[in-house]
Amino acid sequence: MIDARIQPLQRAAMRPPAQLLAGWGVTADAISVVGFLIGLMAVAALAFGLWPLALLFIAINRLMDGLDGAVARLNGPTERGAFLDIALDFVFYALVPVGFALHNPGVNGLPAAVLIAAFVGTGSSFLAFAAVAAQRGQTAVAFPQKGIYYLGGLTEGFETIVLFVAMCLFPGHFATLAWVFAAACAVTTVLRWHQGWTAFR
């Protein structure tokens, strides 16, 4: 919902470390892969109830998600990089609820499953819109730096990060947070369906 507003600040903050990494010859793809592996470590930490460690790994994963794009803009963005970035991001988002479910299946299993299903709704509507928009040669005015058409909504990247932070800080309220965010994702999905139905008729 507010990704477009904070994106200029994010780009400004990421530029100095991105310049340093690019100067060392680090590629955006390498940052994406390493960030994803750190995200997997967060899932393991969640499964064992190591909440501060999980939060640290999630924060590093999201930091590297910003850095890969910043490095790509310096070195020249590629289609492979855009694909890798979004593909790994969506898997990471789905795996975080799995970590909570593994920690306490009896309490967290159902809300985690519903949240993952809600992520499928937002993710599939996002990618379906992007695919058709690319065929039509359309670009997202609000997100000119993105490698694919970036369709906004009620639940975007920033809101998802806030959710994960809240879950790590208040793990006993995972179920409530998951249900509420799943409902917000459902609203986002329906709005994107309507937007696609209207835009592509």
User: What range does the domain containing 162 cover?
Assistant: 3-199
CATH number of the domain encompassing residue 94: 1.20.120.1760
Q: What is the DSSP track for the chain?
A: --HHHHHHHHHHHHHHHHHHHHHTT--HHHHHHHHHHHHHHHHHHHHTT-HHHHHHHHHHHHHHHHHHHHHHHHH---HHHHHHHHHHHHHHHHHHHHHHHHH-HHHHHHHHHHHHHHHHHHHHHHHHHHHHHHHTT---TT-TT-SS-----SS-HHHHHHHHHHHHH-GGGHHHHHHHHHHHHHHHHHHHHHHHHHHT-
Q: How many domains does the chain have?
A: 1
pTM of the model: 0.87
What is the tens place of the pLDDT at every residue in 126-141?
Answer: 888 888 887 877 765 5
What is the tens place of the pLDDT at every residue in 137-154?
Answer: 776 554 455 555 566 667
